[in-house]
Structure 1
């Protein structure tokens, strides 16, 4: 299972992130997870939202450069070593993590790790084979 993620390219200047979140809020789009990476000149905002198409349309109509990518959401126990176990599985398959971010769900029992791998299909197969739960976008939005 793959999750659609929005990637927004933005200038690295004051107020741009606030503008994006305000536009999404005005359209009642709920952000479930996010990550921001920046350089001196620009940033990449990665978002998992409850309505990908509406978010994409909203942001594009407000002048933002938006792309859609697929990521994998892996549920792990929220305890020491959760991430290490996933990465051990990935290392055994000689897969590369392009990027990742994480969040803890409301219960505090589990964490959700969001990954982009160099071989997404192989990653899904190996993680499921070793007993990890891969979440859908709908499941993330329901947390």
Structure 2
């Protein structure tokens, strides 16, 4: 029920993000979801791609610092209040969200909420008990 995500550390320098997108494009790697956060000195690009292992390999070969982490992907209806419904489950369970980002598969149909919790296993249990649909790595890669 956990999905592999690539975390890339990149210096805050013009063109670095384009270098990454170009490397992935040249290697036929499709980005499913992304999040970019920055500090004064560097950024953290988080990606869910269709081929995590290949992406990690080609990015490392091109000099990027790459790590693999796991996130939980919760499918929700693409409608007002869907995020709140999930966050109320999170709040009630006392889960701590380290970060999250989202994408919509098809407008008006379903959205995907990607979460990183300080206790991923506890979060899986909470979501399963609440009847939330967690997507697998294969399901996310097939989108």
Please say whether Structure 1 and Structure 2 have the same fold, judged by a TM-score greater than 0.5.
Answer: yes
Match of 1:137 in 2: 137
- Please, what TM-score do these two structures have when normalized by structure 2? 0.97
Q: Which residue of 1 aligns with 2:23?
A: 23
For 1:108, the equivalent position in structure 2 comes to: 108
**Aligned-partner Cα distance in 2 for 1:106–1:87:** 21
List aligned pairs for 1:75-90, cutoff 5 A: 75-90=75-90
Residue 14 of structure 2 is aligned to residue 14 of structure 1? yes
Deviation string 1:83-121 (CA, Å, 9 cap, x unpaired) is 111111111111100000000003531100000001111
How far apart, CA to CA, are the structure 1 residues paired with 2:39 and 2:131? 37
**Partner residue in 2 for 1:59:** 59
Q: After the TM superposition, which segments of 4 or more aligned residues of structure 1 sit over 2 Å from their partners?
A: none
Structure 1: any 5+ residue segments left out of the alignment? none
Q: Judge conservation of contact 2:78–2:104 (CA < 8 Å) in 1.
A: yes
DSSP-derived class of the 1:28 partner? coil
Q: Structure 2: 5+ residue runs without aligned partners?
A: none
Aligned partners of 1:21, 1:108: CA distance in 2, in Å? Answer: 28
> TM-score, length-normalised on structure 1?
0.97
Shift of 1:81: 1.0
Distance 2:67 2:37 in 1: 15
* 2:91 corresponds to: 91
